Amino acid sequence: MSRLIREFLGFMRFLAQRFDDDRCIQIASSLTYTTLLSLVPLIVIALTVISAFPVFSGLMVQLKVFLLTSMVPEVAGKIITVYMQQFSEKAARLTAAGIAALAVTALMLMQTIEHAFNLIWRVTTPRPLLQRVLTYWAALTLGPLLTGASLSLTSYLVSYSLGYVAFIPSLGVVVLKIVPLVITTLAFSLLYLAVPNRHVPWRHALTGGLVAGLGLELMSRGFTAYILHFSGYTLVYGAFASLPVFLLWIYLSWLVVVSGAVVAASLSYWRGGMWRIERTPGRRYLDALCVLQALCRAQHRGEALTLAALQRETHVALEELENILRQLRDARWVARTAGQGWLLSAHPGDIAMLAVFRRFVFNPDEALPPGSDASLAALSGRTASSLEQALAGSLEDLCARPGPV
């Protein structure tokens, strides 16, 4: 038990270090600023889309209450609701150019979210522009419909469970508390699955979504308690007291969402204790050899390996695995199949160990820095000669050796 606790605490330190390395505080600040510009356009677009479907007409008021009371504390929501209601009513008279401007502003938030998540998942290649535009448009149109459907389901479950309250008095309280948490968790999980331009296992996304959902619930309770018991800020800000409260709430909410993303992105390091290993060029070289060896053995079996299968066989974290595969593909040693599997695209005998080392660790053929003296050039030459002797052989020789014990 003590070993498990030490492992857990060590992984928590790894998460905290990754949170700091990814500059998540700055990411939350950037998302807060973009949200201020995009929140009202997003709500207007959502209400416009839902109003186009008569089946959701009875949920319009419920959706407004859900969006505002869930995203801001109740104390500040009373004032902010009035402002957003007035804006939504005026937005109905917008011209086509005005609607387009609203859509562009809403897309800014979605692009910022995608960029932030790609940073957290260490994605180096974003989606193509056309694919991003189609994804954003689908989110703008389908997102409100899914929200309306979830609200309908919530209303049905709550009304259905209330019939049993007379027999089980605590059931109504449990349903009213659990159902919103489940919906929030699923929403965050879908966000972590769909936004990063990288394969995210659904278990990792669900775990991150649960962390974000619980964090948002705890933060909401703590934030509301602070406002109710420490209301001195109203003496300082007066009539503008709701504005700093709203800003702080958005910022803390994004901190929670980003924290859940860090958890979801880091869980692939838990397998095999990869979080304890420092990511050096030598480590990546060994991981690349493990990947090539796994693909070589799969080739002997006449099959390709999916990303998940490669991760299970090599115990390399997913983001590191994708970066390694990208470099191997650039070298034309591996290729991706139409079924999203990976296989060798070169004969194992043509993949020299020295060539792999040069790609991932050190290439003596690269030009020395300007101003380097002859001794450095001589050292590079001796290193190259030593490497040629130590790394003689190919992937075929490596695969001919006994497998892991």
- Per run of 10 residues, the mean pLDDT along the chain (length 405 residues) is 76 89 90 82 70 60 57 54 61 68 78 89 82 76 64 61 55 64 85 87 92 88 74 63 77 92 89 70 86 90 87 85 90 86 89 87 68 68 74 81 51
Tell me which residue has tokens 């929670």. Answer: 256
The region that residue 324 occupies, defined by phi over 0 for left and psi between -120 and 50 for alpha, beta otherwise, is alpha
pLDDT of residue 405: 41
Angle between helices 96-120 and 242-266 (to 10 degrees): 50
Rounded-to-integer distance, Cα 141 and Cα 49, Å: 7
Q: Between β-strands 334-336 and 305-306, what pairing exists: parallel, antiparallel or unpaired?
A: unpaired
pLDDT of residue 131: 81
Instruction: Select from 197, 201, 206, 207 the least CA-distant residue to 323.
Output: 197
R_g over Cα of the chain: 27
pLDDT of residue 275: 72
pLDDT of residue 41: 75
Phi/psi of residue 390, nearest 5 degrees: -75, -30
Tokens representing 302 are 């006449």
pLDDT of residue 291: 92
Tokens representing 84 are 């957003």
Instruction: Select from 125, 190, 136, 141 the least CA-distant residue to 330.
Output: 125
307-312, long-range: CB < 8 A, 24+ apart: 307/199, 307/340, 307/342, 308/199, 308/201, 310/342, 311/268, 311/271
Tokens representing 257 are 């969402």
List of residues 6+ apart from 312 with CB closer than 8 A: none
Tell me the whole-structure pTM to 2 decimals: 0.76
Q: Which domains does the chain have, with CATH numbers?
A: 2-271 (no CATH), 290-400 (1.10.10.10)
